[in-house]
Amino acid sequence: MPNSSLKSAVARKAVKATVRHTAHGTASKLKHNPMRASTLLAVGGALGAVAGWLAARGAGASTSPT
């Protein structure tokens, strides 16, 4: 049991550091060049939404009876 709690604590710490690092990098890019950064974020969000929609549509089509 102690080993699994140690693993989860280390994993939680790694996730927290990754989130903090990502937030810091995004804030830095927004300060440096706000127009380019916001454009890239918007394009990335749009591409992610399309990819998610296509993945969901593909998964739904394979499980529906014909």
Q: What's the pLDDT tens digit per position in 32-62?
A: 887 887 888 899 999 999 999 999 988 765 5
Q: Are residues 1 and 23 in the same domain?
A: yes
| pTM summary value | 0.44
Count of domains for the chain: 2
The whole-angstrom separation of Cα 29 and Cα 19 is 15
Q: Do 44 and 33 touch, CB atoms closer than 8 A?
A: no
Which domain does 60 fall in, by range?
34-66
- Statement to judge: residues 28 and 38 lie in one domain: no
Between these two residues, 14 and 38, which has the higher pLDDT value?
Answer: 14
Q: Are residues 22 and 4 in the same domain?
A: yes
Question: How far is CA 52 from each of CA 41, 46, 57, rounded to the nearest angstrom?
Answer: 16, 10, 8
Q: Which residues contact 38 (CB under 8 A, 6 or more apart)?
A: 30
Higher pLDDT residue, 28 or 49?
49
pLDDT at 2: 62
